[in-house]
Amino acid sequence: MAIPMVLEIVFPPSLVLIAASVLSLLSLTILGVLETREIHLKYSKFFNASTSSSSSISFKVPSRVGMLLIYTPAFLVGVASFWLFPDGDFRFLLLKSAITIHFFKRILEVIFIHNYSGGICGNFYHHCILSKLRTKGGKEYKIPKGGLFELVICPHYLFEILGFLGISLISQTLYSFSTTLGIAVYLMCRGYVTRKWYMSKFEDLPKEVKAVIPYVF
């Protein structure tokens, strides 16, 4: 039922947009499945995770540098969109603003991770909790407490999904919805393995604490 409802509100896509939508969804889904197979993207808790690869060549980029390389181009494209596409209705202006603000917030999170961890609504609050878990220079991990951390181990993933869903509802394109679905699949898989990681490290982690969605998953 959900898919027909989405198709009723999206603008008719071109063949190119359909192909891009399928590619985006498949790519993110594959990344999510690989996470459950312990083939992780190397950031956060899994930065030094081992893989089955036998290659002796290893090139690692610091997480902060990697995130800046990902988010900065997207932010610059968002800023450029105001100049490249100055016309349009309020919905288009809202879409450009939402995307630009989202990635600007991401850049601020990366640069000022210990002093500032911005976000929209729930994302802001739970990122603040995460940023205060470690002492300055500390490397030890702790069980997050407060907010939805009492119910799920990755509430920031939940609000990330909701944020992209909001952008999709503004843009009303097949590509935005397929990308949001792919992001949801990836983050839920990442949340699943993150919960397993916490369960293996902390025996006192309550069993009823879920991965991403309270009481459900």
Q: Is residue 57 part of a domain?
A: no
First to last CA, the chain: 21
Work out the angle at residue 81's Cα, subtended by the Cα atoms of residues 75 and 84, and round it to the nearest 5 degrees: 145
Phi, then psi, of 7 in degrees rounded to 5: -65, -25
**Residues 152, 213 share a domain:** yes
- Check whether residue 82 and residue 10 sit in a common domain: no
Beta bridge partners of 152: 210
Q: Which domain holds residue 69?
A: 62-111
Among all chains, which residue has been given the structure tokens 């209705």?
Answer: 89
How remote is the C-alpha of 121 from its chain's centroid? 15
Kindly state whether residue 195 falls inside one of the protein's structural domains. yes
The answer to whether residue 13 sits within a structural domain is: yes
User: Are 107 and 158 in a shared domain?
Assistant: no
Is position 73 within any domain? yes
Looking at the structure, tell me whether residues 104 and 139 fall in a common domain. Answer: no
What is the SS3 assignment for 79?
Answer: helix
**Residue ranges in the chain modelled with pLDDT below 50:** 53-56, 114-119
In a domain, 154, yes or no: yes
78 and 6 in one domain?
no
Residue 3 lies inside a defined structural domain of this protein? yes
- Tokens, residue 152: 């799920």
Are residues 32 and 136 located together in one domain of the fold?
A: yes
Tell me how far CA of residue 20 lies from CA of 9, 26, 171, in angstroms. 19, 10, 16
pLDDT at 54 (0 to 100): 44
User: Based on the domain organization, do 194 and 150 belong to the same domain?
Assistant: yes
Q: Are residues 153 and 203 in the same domain?
A: yes
Residue 36 placed within a domain:
yes
The confidence score (pLDDT) of residue 138 equals 57
> 214 and 142 share a domain?
yes
Q: Do 72 and 107 fall within a single domain?
A: yes
Residue 117 counted as domain residue: no
Q: Give the phi and the psi of residue 210 in degrees, each rounded to 5.
A: -85, -175
Domain closes at, from 111, 138, 171: 111
Q: Residues 24, 67: one domain?
A: no
**44, 64 in Cβ contact below 8 A?**
no
Same domain, 131 and 217: yes
Number of domains making up the chain = 2
In terms of residues, how long is the chain?
Answer: 217
User: What pLDDT sits at residue 116?
Assistant: 37
| pLDDT tens by residue, 9-66 | 788 889 999 999 999 999 999 999 999 998 888 776 776 665 554 444 555 667 778 8
Is 185 within 8 Å of 211 (Cβ atoms)?
no
Strand partners, 210: 152
